[in-house]
Structure 1
Amino acid sequence: MIKFYYHPSPNPAKIALFLEEAGLPYEIVPIDTRKGEQFKPEFLAINPNAKTPALTDGDVTIFDSNAILLYLAEKTGQFLPENTPKARGEMLSWLMFVATGIGPYCGQAVHFSRFAPEKIPYAINRYARDAERLWGIIDAQLGKHRYMLGDAYTLIDMSVWGWSTLAQFALGDEAFGKLPNVKRHRDEISARPAAQRAVALKDKFAFKTEFDDEARKFLFPQNAHLAA
Structure 2
Amino acid sequence: MKTIQYILIALFLSLCAQAVDAQSDRQFVRNGNKFYREQNYAKAEAEYRKALEKNASNTQAMYNLGCALSRQQKDSAAVTQFETAGKTEKAHLRKAMAYHNIGVICQKRQLYAEAIEAYKESLRHNPNDNATRYNLALCKRLAKKQPPKNNDKNKNDKNKKDNDKKKQQQNKQNPNKNERNEQRQQNGEQMSKDNAEQLLNYAIQEEKATQRRLKQQQRQPQRRRLQKNW
Bucket of the pairwise TM-score, normalised by the shorter protein: under 0.3
Q: Which has the higher strand share?
A: 1
TM-score (norm. length: structure 1): 0.26
Larger-Rg structure: 2
Q: Which has the higher helix share?
A: 2
Bigger relative contact order (CA 8 A; separation at least 6): 1
TM-score (norm. length: structure 2): 0.26
